[in-house]
Amino acid sequence: MNTTVTVLIVYLGILAALAIWSRRETHTLSGFYLAGKKLPFWVVAFSTNATGESGWLLLGLSGMGYAVGAQAYWVVVGEIAGIALSWGLISRRLKKFGDETDSITVPDVLAAKFVDKLHLIRIVAVLIIVVMVTTYVTAQMVSTGKAFSSFLGMDYGTGVIVGSVFIIGYTFVGGYKAVSYTDVVQGVLMLLGLIAVPAAAIIAAGGLGEVKSSLQYQDPALLDMFAFSSGHAWIGIASFVAIGLPFLGVPQLLIRFMSARDDGEIRKARIMSIIVMLVFTAGAVTAGVAGRALYPGLEDSETIFPVISNNLFPPVISGMLLVVVLSAIMSTVDSLLLLASSAVVRDTYQKIMGSPESDSVLSNYGKVITIVIGIIAVVLGVQEPRVIFDFVLASWSGLGSAFGPVVIAILYFKRTTWAGVLAGMLGGFLASIIWLSFFKADYHGLYEAIPGFVTGMLLTYGVSIMTSRAEE
C-alpha cells in the first residue's frame, strides 16, 4: 500500500476514535454545539487557531506568499493583531455574558437583551450565517480536492467527496467536543508542518541568501513589502492587515470563547493562541516565498505547499504533510457545519418557530442538518470555484462585518438597541458584499472588510443612539 495512504488511514482512524469517545456529549443542544461549556484552555486555544485558519492557510496563504513575495507578511501582521484584539476585547466578556444569558449560539447573544417578538435579529443572523457558511465550506471542499489531487494524483472531484465523507462523519458522531479535540490534533500537526516545510525549502534553496538572490533575479518587487503593483501601497497594506479584522466577529471563533470552562481558562488560552498564530501565518508565507525561489513558474501558486512536501521529503513525511493540509481544512469545515446546523436547529426551529421538543430530539435534528449542509457544500465544491484565497476572504469578511460591530457594541455600549443591532448587522454584511461586487476593482482592491466593518460600526452606534430614548 502507498505510504501516504497508510499515514492517511492512521490519521483518519485517530479522528474516528475521538468522535466515538466524544459522542456522550451530543445528547443535548449545549453538548452537541458547545461541549457543555467545559473545555480546558489548551483545547480552546488550538481549536480557535485551527478553526480560524483552514485550508486557506496552507494552500491560500502559502500561495499568496508565492505570488507576491514579502508583501504577504502584512497578512501576518493583520492576523496577529486581529486574534490578539479578539482575545483581549471580546473573549472574557463574551464568556461571561453567554453564561449569564444561557446562550449557545451567537444569535442567542445578539437577541438576549431585547424583546424581539418578530425574531428579526435571529432571522437576519441565520440567513447571513447559512449563506456565508455554505460559501465558506464550499471553498474548503475545493481545498480538499486540490490536496488529494496534488499529493495522491487523485481526481479532483473524487478528492472532494472522499475528504467530505470523513469530515461530515466525525462531526455527525461526536459534535462540538469531537470537533474541538480533533482541532488540537490537527493544530499540532499544522504547527509542526509549518515549521518543517519552510525550513526545508530554505535549506534546499541554499539558505536565506540564495532565496533572496533567486527572488531578486525573478522580480525585485518580491523582496519589497511596499511594492504593491497598483501603485497605492497604503491600500494594499491596509487590505492585507485588515484580513485580521473579522477575528472580532466571525461566529465560528466567538463560540470558542463561550465553550471554555471558565474565565481562568480563557486567560491562559489567549497567550498560547497568539504564539501559535504567529508560527502558523509566518510559516505559511515563508513556505510560499521560499517555494518561489525553488520552483518558479508554477501554474497554480496554491499548490506550492504540496509541491514542496512531495519533492523535499520522503514518502512517510510527505504523507504526514498531506495530513497537515487536510487537518487545516477539516478543523474549519467541522466547525462551520456545526455553526450552520445550530443556526437552523437552535435559532430557527427552537427559538423562532418555538419548537417544544426535547434537547435530545433537537440534537438529533442537528446531526441530520449537519449532513445536509455538508452535502450541499460538496455538490458546489465539485464545480471547483475560483481560487481558495478570494473565495474564503469573501465569506470571512461577510461574517466578520455582520457580527463584529454588533458583538462589540453589546459587550461595551450599554445604550445598544434592538434597532441598532439589526441595522449594524444588515449594514455591515451588505456593505461588505456590495463593495466586493461593485467597487473593489475600482478602488485598487481595497479589502471589503474595511468598508463592511466601518459601516456596521457606524450604523450600530448611530441607530442605537437615535433609538435608545424611544426604547427606554
For 140-170, b where at least 16 C-beta lie within 10 A, e where not — what string? bbbbbbbbbbbbbebebbebbbbbbebbbbb
Give the pLDDT of residue 389: 53
For the beta carbon of residue 263, count every other beta carbon within 10 angstroms: 13
pLDDT band at 410 (very low <50, low <70, confident <90, very high): very high
Mean pLDDT along residues 354-361:
83
User: How far is it, in rounded angstroms, from Cα 88 to Cα 80?
Assistant: 12
117 near 352, Cβ under 8 Å?
Answer: no
pLDDT band at 160 (very low <50, low <70, confident <90, very high): confident
Q: Which residues pair with 137 in a beta bridge?
A: none
Torsion of CA 408, 84, 18, 54, to 10 degrees: 90
Q: How many structural domains compose the chain? A: 1
For 355, phi then psi, to 5°, come to -60, 130
pLDDT of 131 > 80? The answer is yes
Among 96-105, 146-155, 394-403, the minimum mean pLDDT is found in 146-155
Nearest to 325 by CA among 106, 462, 159: 159
CA triple 222-74-218, angle to 5 deg: 5
User: How far is it, in rounded angstroms, from Cα 113 to Cα 109?
Assistant: 8
pLDDT band at 19 (very low <50, low <70, confident <90, very high): confident
Mean pLDDT along residues 135-142:
77
Residue 246: which CATH number? 1.20.1730.10
Nearest to 159 by CA among 177, 176, 175, 147: 147
pTM (2 decimals)? Answer: 0.88
pLDDT of 26 > 90? The answer is no
pLDDT of 469 > 70? The answer is no
CA 348 to chain centroid, in Å, comes to: 23
Q: Which residues pair with 260 in a beta bridge?
A: 39
Helices (H), 114-232: 120-152, 156-205, 208-218
Share of the chain above pLDDT 90, in %: 43
Tens of pLDDT along 185-202?
888 888 999 999 999 999
Share of the chain above pLDDT 70, in %: 95
pLDDT of 467 > 60? The answer is yes
pLDDT of 385 > 70? The answer is no
Residue linked to cell 513558474? 297
188 near 180, Cβ under 8 Å?
Answer: no
User: How far is it, in rounded angstroms, from Cα 463 to Cα 187?
Assistant: 41
pLDDT of 15 > 90? The answer is no
pLDDT of 99 > 80? The answer is yes
Give the pLDDT of residue 470: 63
User: How far is it, in rounded angstroms, from Cα 27 to Cα 390?
Assistant: 37
For the beta carbon of residue 52, count every other beta carbon within 10 angstroms: 27
Mean pLDDT along residues 383-401:
72
CA 32 to chain centroid, in Å, comes to: 20
User: How far is it, in rounded angstroms, from Cα 185 to Cα 342?
Assistant: 24
pLDDT of 428 > 90? The answer is yes
Tens of pLDDT along 167-182?
777 777 767 787 788 8
CA 177 to chain centroid, in Å, comes to: 18
pLDDT band at 384 (very low <50, low <70, confident <90, very high): low
Q: Which domain holds residue 320?
A: 3-471
105 near 406, Cβ under 8 Å?
Answer: no
pLDDT band at 415 (very low <50, low <70, confident <90, very high): very high
Among 78-82, 123-127, 130-134, 169-173, the minimum mean pLDDT is found in 169-173
Give the pLDDT of residue 143: 74
Give the pLDDT of residue 386: 53
pLDDT band at 435 (very low <50, low <70, confident <90, very high): very high
Report the sign of the C-alpha dihedral through residues 183, 189, 195, 199, in that order: negative
Among 6-15, 55-64, 74-83, 260-269, the minimum mean pLDDT is found in 6-15
249 near 402, Cβ under 8 Å?
Answer: yes
User: How far is it, in rounded angstroms, from Cα 199 to Cα 331?
Assistant: 24
381 against 86, higher pLDDT: 86
pLDDT of 387 > 60? The answer is no
Give the pLDDT of residue 179: 78
398 near 132, Cβ under 8 Å?
Answer: yes
User: How far is it, in rounded angstroms, from Cα 32 to Cα 338?
Assistant: 9
Helix (H, G, I), strand (E, B) or coil at 260: strand
pLDDT of 417 > 90? The answer is yes
Report the sign of the C-alpha dihedral through residues 323, 327, 333, 334, in that order: positive
User: How far is it, in rounded angstroms, from Cα 394 to Cα 432?
Assistant: 8
Mean pLDDT along residues 220-238:
82
User: How far is it, in rounded angstroms, from Cα 242 to Cα 448?
Assistant: 9
Tens of pLDDT along 288-330?
999 999 999 888 888 899 899 889 988 888 888 877 777 777 7
